[in-house]
C-alpha cells in the first residue's frame, strides 16, 4: 500500500503577501478575541491594518486588543457590544469611524455551537443560536454598510460546512449558517453596484479551536478521512481572508469558499450513525469526556 501523504502547513504570510498590503486600511470584526478570527485579525495587522474587535466580555476583549497591538505594532480598538442589539453595533461602527475615520473590511464571525437533537432542542435554545449567528450578522451588516460603501470595501462571513448535509444534533447551527450564506449572497448582489463585495469562508475541522475541543469525541478518527490528511490551522483560514480582502480578489463576490482539506466531500460521522441518533445518552458521554 502506498504511504499516506500529509499536506504541509501553509508558509508564513510574509512569504505570500506584501508586508504593507493593508497599510491605511481598517478591519472590524465580531468575535476577534480568540480562535480563527483572532488569527485573521492578527495576520491583517501584521500586514499594516488597524482593527476594531467587538465582544460582550469587555475586560477579555480589551486584553485581546492590547495583545494584538503589542504583537503587531498596529492599533486595535476593543468595543464591548452585544451583536443581538442593533444600537450596540451602531455605536461600535461609530467608534471605529471616530478613531480611524474609515472602515474598509468587516469580518462577521459569530458562533454558538452545542449538540442537541431537534426533539430535545428547546425553542429558546434554537432562537438563541439564530439570534447570535444569523441576526447578529444581519445587525453587523446594517450598522457598518454606510461606511463600507464609502471605502468600497468588503465583507467576509465565517460559516461552516455542517449544513451541506443533514448532520445530526446540529439543526440549530445548520439553520443559522445556511442563513448566513444566503445573506452574504444577497448582500453581494445588492451592494455590488456600490462597490462592496461579500464572500463566505466555510472552515472545516480546525485544530485547537473551542468547537473541535468541545464537540469532537475523544478518540475521533474521522479526521483520518480528510483528503489532505490533517486538521487545518487557523492561519490557513486567515490566509484565505487576506486574499479575499486584497486587490487580487476584486472580481470575486457572492461566493462561498470551503477551506477544509476536502473533508466535506468524504465526511465520516464523528458520532456513529444511526447509533448516535438512537442512543443520545452515548453522545452525551462521549462529549463529556472532552470537557
Quick: pLDDT tens for 34-80.
899 999 999 999 999 999 999 999 999 999 999 999 999 999 999 99
For residues 171 and 283, the model is more confident at 171
Q: What is the pLDDT of residue 214?
A: 56
Residue 69: active-site member: no
For residues 266 and 66, the model is more confident at 66
Query: What confidence tens digit (pLDDT) does each residue in 66-116 have?
Result: 999 999 999 999 999 999 999 999 999 999 999 999 999 999 998 766 788
Of the ranges 10-19, 211-220, 265-274, the best mean pLDDT one? 10-19
CA-CA-CA-CA torsion sign (207, 161, 239, 195): negative
Q: How would residue 274 be classed by pLDDT, with cut points 50, 70 and 90? A: confident
> Quick one: what percent of the chain has pLDDT higher than 90?
70
Q: What three-state secondary structure class fits 200?
A: strand
| Rounded Cα distance, 157 and 188, in Å | 12
Q: What is the pLDDT of residue 191?
A: 99
Q: What is the pLDDT of residue 212?
A: 59
Residue 159: active-site member: yes
Q: What is the pLDDT of residue 210?
A: 60
| Rounded Cα distance, 114 and 103, in Å | 33
Q: What is the pLDDT of residue 290?
A: 43
For residue 48, is it left (φ>0), alpha (ψ between -120 and 50) or beta?
left
For residue 106, is it left (φ>0), alpha (ψ between -120 and 50) or beta?
beta
Q: What three-state secondary structure class fits 3?
A: coil
Of 13, 51, 159, 216, the active-site residue reads 159
Of 25, 39, 46, 177, the active-site residue reads 177
Q: What is the pLDDT of residue 128?
A: 95
Burial class (CB in 10 A: 0-12, 13-18, 19+), 91: middle
Is pLDDT of 144 > 80?
Answer: yes
Q: What is the pLDDT of residue 148?
A: 99
| Rounded Cα distance, 83 and 133, in Å | 9
Q: How would residue 268 be classed by pLDDT, with cut points 50, 70 and 90? A: low
Full strand arrangement of the beta sheet holding 105-108 = 76-80, 50-55, 26-30, 105-108, 154-158, 197-203, 256-259
| Rounded Cα distance, 177 and 101, in Å | 32
| Rounded Cα distance, 221 and 218, in Å | 9
Query: What confidence tens digit (pLDDT) does each residue in 202-238 have?
Result: 999 887 666 655 555 555 566 777 889 888 899 999 9
Q: What is the pLDDT of residue 125?
A: 94
Q: What is the pLDDT of residue 289?
A: 46
C-alpha cell of 25?
486600511
- Full DSSP string of 215-234: HSPTT--GGGG-TTSS-B-H
Among 44, 111, 108, 116, CA closest to 76: 44
Amino acid at each position: 500500500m502506498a504511504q499516506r501523504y500529509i499536506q504541509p502547513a501553509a508558509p508564513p504570510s510574509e512569504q505570500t503577501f506584501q508586508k504593507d498590503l493593508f497599510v491605511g486600511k481598517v478591519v472590524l470584526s465580531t468575535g476577534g478575541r480568540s480562535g480563527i478570527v483572532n488569527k485573521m485579525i492578527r495576520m491583517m495587522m501584521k500586514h499594516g491594518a488597524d482593527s476594531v474587535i467587538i465582544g460582550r466580555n469587555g475586560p477579555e476583549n480589551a486584553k485581546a486588543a492590547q495583545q494584538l497591538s503589542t504583537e503587531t505594532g498596529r492599533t486595535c480598538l476593543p468595543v464591548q457590544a452585544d451583536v443581538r442589539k442593533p444600537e450596540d453595533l451602531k455605536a461600535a461602527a461609530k467608534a471605529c469611524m471616530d478613531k480611524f475615520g474609515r472602515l474598509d473590511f468587516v469580518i462577521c464571525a459569530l458562533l454558538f455551537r452545542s449538540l442537541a437533537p431537534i426533539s430535545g432542542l428547546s425553542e429558546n435554545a434554537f432562537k438563541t443560536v439564530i439570534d447570535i449567528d444569523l441576526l447578529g450578522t444581519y445587525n453587523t451588516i446594517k450598522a457598518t454598510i454606510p461606511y463600507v460603501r464609502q471605502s468600497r470595501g468588503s465583507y467576509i462571513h465565517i460559516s461552516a460546512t455542517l449544513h451541506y448535509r443533514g448532520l445530526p444534533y446540529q439543526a440549530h447551527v445548520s439553520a443559522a449558517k445556511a442563513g448566513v450564506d444566503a445573506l452574504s449572497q444577497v448582500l453581494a448582489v445588492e451592494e455590488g453596484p456600490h462597490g462592496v463585495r461579500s464572500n463566505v469562508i466555510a472552515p472545516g475541522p480546525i485544530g485547537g479551536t473551542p468547537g473541535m475541543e468541545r464537540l469532537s469525541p475523544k478518540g475521533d478518527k474521522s479526521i483520518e478521512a480528510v483528503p489532505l490528511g490533517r486538521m487545518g490551522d487557523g492561519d490557513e483560514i486567515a490566509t484565505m481572508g487576506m486574499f479575499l480582502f486584497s486587490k487580487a480578489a476584486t472580481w470575486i463576490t457572492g461566493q462561498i469558499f470551503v477551506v477544509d482539506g476536502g473533508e466535506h466531500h468524504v465526511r465520516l460521522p464523528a458520532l456513529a450513525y444511526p447509533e448516535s441518533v438512537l442512543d443520545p445518552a452515548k453522545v452525551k458521554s462521549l462529549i463529556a469526556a472532552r470537557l
